[in-house]
Structures are given as C-alpha cells and as structure tokens.
Structure 1
Amino acid sequence: MTMHRPGLPEDLPPGETLWGRWALLAAVAATTAEEQRTSGYRTGRWIDAEGLHYDDSGCTWWTMSRMGEGRYVLYGEDESSGVKWHEPPIDMLAGGPEWLPYDELHDRLKGYELGCVYWYENGVWARAPYPDGLRDDGLDCGMSGFVERDRVLGELSDHLDGTVGGPDADRLLADAEAHRLEPGPFLERLRPTDPDGETMDPPAVARALVLAGLG
C-alpha cells in the first residue's frame, strides 16, 4: 500500500485493524522486567494503560489511544514532518472532536514534540487540513510498518515456531485485527526466543494481549 506525503486519512486502515496489528507486534516484545519499570526512557513497542507506543530511540515516536467505543487517536512525530515548523503555523487540532486528549496534545505542542494528529470515529480517519505545498507530516515514516500488512505478517512469522502446529501467521494476524485472538493457541506458536535471541516471556505476552483487548 502506497502512503502519501503528507499523509491522507484514507492511507490508514480502520482504527480497529491498525490497533490489532500494532498491539500484536508490541505484545510479542513484552517482558516482565519492562512491565515493572517505573522510570527511565523507553524504546521499542509497548502497551500500557495509555495505549500503544512506538519509539525508535532516534527520530520517531508515536502513540495510539482508545478514546471510547469505536474512537481512536493517533499522534506522534517523525523528523520528516514539516508541520510543526511550517510558516504560517498549522493548527494540528483544527476540526478535532471534543473527545481528543487535549491536555496531552497541548503539552506536546508547547514542547514542539508533535508532528501530526489523526483521529478515528464512525469508521473514518480524519486530521486537520494542511496548506498546499506541505511536503510531509511524518505519517508514512512512522506508520508504514503497521499499515503495510505484509510487513506485519513477515515480522509476526519471525516470532512463530515452524515446528509447532496450529493457526498460521495469517490467521493469527486476522484474529488480532478483528480483536478475537485466542491467547492459548497464539502463545503455543511462539518461538522460545525472539529473532534477536532474547528469551520470550509468555506470561508478559499474555498480559499485554489482555491489556490491548486482543485476548
């Protein structure tokens, strides 16, 4: 799937689908040690009470939060975004619904930490209007790893044990996208170690799935 620069709301899959893909990849990286951390800078992908997070420890960070039934907000920054430096300034919250987390977003704006904001309601993504000539808002660089299903499927496959029977990667991903994933069969399919050789932590993975509402 080709994403536009700057991003268009229709570049994103339905909010439930995007949540399912992102949450699944974050869950397989969950560890008890990370759950118990109370301070310090965190990187990678993770799930907490605020939602889904992604930070590449460099130039990209993103958060996706559930804001009620059928409502999501997606916000973050990639260094490719020209929104926050644009002159005249762009109001990234223009047209936003009343349920957006305005306190958090305004804090980010004040600190020049925000590159774009998208919101999802009634099955449709939306964002503030952009002026002609804006080259990028960072959506492609930040979200392509979740928007392109083949990439998600490939990464998920790397975590599965090919010697164990059960649902294949495509079925597991489809179940996560539909928020009907059964934790038991999924955990049974996981390799003992991740692609980097780190030991998997099934109890933490299971808790992350529940926290994300996938299992």
Structure 2
Amino acid sequence: MKINRPGQPEDLPDAGVLWARWAAFAAATWNAEEEKERFRSGYWLGGTHGDSGLHYDDGACSRWTLVRADGDRAVLSGQDDSSKVGRYEPPIDLLAGAPGWVHGELRHDLLEQGRIECVYWFEDGSWQRAPYPDDLHDDGLDCGIGHLTSRDHAVEEICALFEFDGDCEGAVEACEQFLEHAERGTVTAEVVRSFADEVFRIQTEYELLWPAAPIVRSESDLAAMTALVRRS
C-alpha cells in the first residue's frame, strides 16, 4: 500500500485495525521497567496526562497518539520532521471542518506549541482531515505512521525492531501470526507467550543480542501484555 504525500484519509486502515496493530507493537516491545518511566520512546498505552491513548515516539523525529472516543470514533494526531505543515504560510487550520468532539480528544497545548502538525479523525466508518493547500508537499503521515497502514508494512517493521532478517527462519511467520491475532481480536495469554518465546528463540539462535526480546518473566507480565492487545 502506497502512502500519499501529504496523506489522504484513504491511506489509513479502519481505526480498529490501526489500534490493533499499534497495540500489538506495544505488547511486543513491552517492558515492565519502562512502564514506570515518565519520559518514554517506542510504543505504549496511556500517557502522563492520564489519557488512555496509544503512543509512538521514535526518540528522535516522530511522535504520534491514537485515541478512541465513544461511538467507534478515533483521533490520530502527531508530528514527524518530514512534515511541511509547521512551516507553511499562512498557517493551516488542522481542525477546519472537524466535528466538535474531535476538539475534546486533542492536547490543545501541544497544538498551540506546534507539536502537532497532523490530525485525522475517524467517524461513521471513514477517516477525515482538514483540507490542505494544493502546494503542501507532506504532512508527516507517511514517515510517521506508514508502517502501521498495512499488514505487510507492519510485519516488516516489527521484524526490523528485533533485527530479524531474511536468514532468521520463522521470524516473519511469528510476527505475521501475532499481528493477525491482534487484528482478529483472538489474542490470548497462550498467543502472547508463544510469540515472546519464539522471538527469544530466534534472537538466541541467531545471536541477536539487541534489542531485548519481549520475555515473559512472570504471570503478571503475561497478563499485562495480553490485556494490552486485547483492549483493541
């Protein structure tokens, strides 16, 4: 699936599918110690301001949030350094045409600080965004969230997170099966443990020492990782 630049609403999958893939990444990279950190990078659920959204921060140039609202609605917002929105003149109103409920799902302090340069909202089964000027070249959606817009891209990215390459037998299949379970809503404790064990096996067999595998160290770890994906 090719992502337009700037992004188009049809580039994004159904909000439920996007949430499921994002949550799968958060579970696959879950670490009990990192759950205690105030400043984080990677994928996680819930923020320091008490929100219940999914977050992604690559630790460098891309930061995104997906929140769900009542009635199968959702808001995707964020910023990537590839975006031209923040430097465009005159300023683009990212909430032009947005229904009132969208305003209540955004961090307006971040919007006013220019730390949000991309806003899409999901309602009645489709994504929408504010209209862009014809000469705007990029809103950051592709570089920021492109890897979550299709199953193939998501599998490729999650393999890259664990430094799996084509020589790692079983890696693609394990990641694809885990994402499929997440999208179908069939994740169980057994599915999570099996995935974590397979990642650890591959990393050990191929001597991939970094990043750390999602080892299930205790029953509480297993419960937390499973609950994270099942909230999809």
Structure 1 segment 1-215 matched on structure 2, within 5 A: 1-37=1-37, 39=38, 41-48=39-46, 49-102=51-104, 104-156=106-158, 169-190=175-196, 191-192=199-200, 196-202=210-216, 203-204=220-221, 206-214=223-231
Task: Provide closer, same or farther for how the CA distance between residues 136 and 120 of structure 1 changes in structure 2, counting only shifts above 3 A.
Answer: same
Moved more, 169-178 or 190-199: 190-199
How many residues are paired up? 210
Task: Provide closer, same or farther for how the CA distance between residues 168 and 208 of structure 1 changes in structure 2, counting only shifts above 3 A.
Answer: closer
Mapped contact 1:59–1:79 kept (Cα < 8 A)? yes
> Structure 1, unaligned stretches of length 5 or more?
none
TM-score of the aligned structures, taking structure 2 as reference length: 0.79
Shift of 1:84: 2.3
Give the SS at the match of 1:89.
coil
Whole-Å Cα distance in 2 between the matches of residues 214 and 50 of structure 1? 11
Mapped contact 1:180–1:214 kept (Cα < 8 A)? no
Shift of 1:19: 0.8
> Over aligned residues, Cα RMSD in angstroms?
2.6
Task: Provide closer, same or farther for how the CA distance between residues 199 and 178 of structure 1 changes in structure 2, counting only shifts above 3 A.
Answer: closer
Give the SS at the match of 2:66.
strand
Q: Deviations over 1:20-46 (max 9, x none)?
A: 111101111111111123x3x211111
Shift of 1:154: 3.4
Mapped contact 1:24–1:176 kept (Cα < 8 A)? yes
Shift of 1:155: 4.5
Mapped contact 1:46–1:53 kept (Cα < 8 A)? yes
Whole-Å Cα distance in 2 between the matches of residues 183 and 214 of structure 1? 13
Whole-Å Cα distance in 2 between the matches of residues 65 and 90 of structure 1? 22
> Structure 2, unaligned stretches of length 5 or more?
none
TM-score of the aligned structures, taking structure 1 as reference length: 0.85
Whole-Å Cα distance in 2 between the matches of residues 104 and 58 of structure 1? 22
Give the SS at the match of 1:192.
helix
Shift of 1:214: 4.3
Whole-Å Cα distance in 2 between the matches of residues 5 and 197 of structure 1? 31
Percent identity over the alignment is 39
Shift of 1:172: 3.0
Mapped contact 1:81–1:136 kept (Cα < 8 A)? yes
Look up the equivalent residue of 2:200 and give its one-letter code: P
Give the SS at the match of 1:32.
coil
